[in-house]
């Protein structure tokens, strides 16, 4: 009989001396098998819980209600900051559009 933990193969004399324990690592074969079975049951329970959670999330997503924004209240300073940042972000976009427009016109001019 080979030890399930350390893979030690005891001799016949060692098995007769200690039939239920490994002479190399000292584990009890029955206790190790019970602990392994309990760990498998715990893992199966965790997998079932994950599946139930996934199903619950899917059901919640299916029953979600649409949101309609009616009003946005924003302090004046934050609104000015947002508008300035928006304007600064528009500069590179305008440059890219100008380059594309120039390229398009150049291609048309060559034809």
Domains of the chain, by residue range, sit at 1-62, 76-111
Residue 88 has pLDDT above 90, yes or no: yes
Residue 12 near residue 24 (C-beta atoms within 8 A): no
Q: Is the pLDDT of residue 61 over 70?
A: no
pLDDT in tens, 10-21: 777 777 777 777
- The greatest distance separating any two alpha carbons of the chain, rounded to the nearest whole angstrom, comes to 99
pLDDT at 81 over 90: yes
Question: Cα separation of 72 and 66, whole Å?
Answer: 17
pTM of the predicted model over 0.75: no
Give 21's strand partners: 28
Are the CB atoms for 25 and 3 separated by under 8 Å? Answer: yes
- Residue carrying structure tokens 């004046």: 76
């Amino acid at each position: 009989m080979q030890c399930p933990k350390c893979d030690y193969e005891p001799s016949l004399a060692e098995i007769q001396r200690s039939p239920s324990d490994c002479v190399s690592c000292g584990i009890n074969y029955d206790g190790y098998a019970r602990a392994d079975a309990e760990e498998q049951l715990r893992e199966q329970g965790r997998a079932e819980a994950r599946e139930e959670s996934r199903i619950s999330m899917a059901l919640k997503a299916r029953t979600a209600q649409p949101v309609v924004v009616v009003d946005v209240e924003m302090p004046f300073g934050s609104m000015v900051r947002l508008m300035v940042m928006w304007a600064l972000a528009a500069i590179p976009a305008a440059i890219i559009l100008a380059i594309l427009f120039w390229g398009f016109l150049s291609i048309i001019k060559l034809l």
